[in-house]
A and B are shown apart, each in its own frame.
Chain A
């Protein structure tokens, strides 16, 4: 029972490098989300996709892009990584836009040096 799968689990990037974080869910959920979590702060929404074919900005979208590849997959891309993007990134999914319960992936610990 995989649920939400994120890759990679850990990543170190140099400033200016790019990378894509992958996320896939097997629960047939319509909505998917990307969050970042920094020490002492709540989860902050980067982007979300209420349904296949749609994406919207969240609270902190600058420096990121997303792609809802299909119903299962939602990727997050850092085009030019900056030290301020050092964080733990979580992908989540839920049944529909009116969130009842969000299920999370295990997280990606990203360090930008």
Chain B
């Protein structure tokens, strides 16, 4: 799997937007960009994924750069419950069903 680079930690204020960056300069044409997050004392949970176009769902938005070498997960209004480790993962659907987790970004949300 191509590697991703994320900041180790970020801080946000409650009810403000949060932009979590991810660099993936060696992404291949068939790699999907997946985001998962892991809340304290829980397993990871799926957040969103995309290939080329920006994506929105009830949890977040995913903005993908035109060259696909970077992406940004956007939480529109951070809440205390969004404090978690956020993982950006590349997955080639044609190359098996494995996810390779990196260190992720630890998001801290201040009240």
Q: Do A and B come from one complex?
A: no
Binding site for A on B (CB under 8 A): none
- Interface residues of A, Cβ cutoff 8 Å to B: none
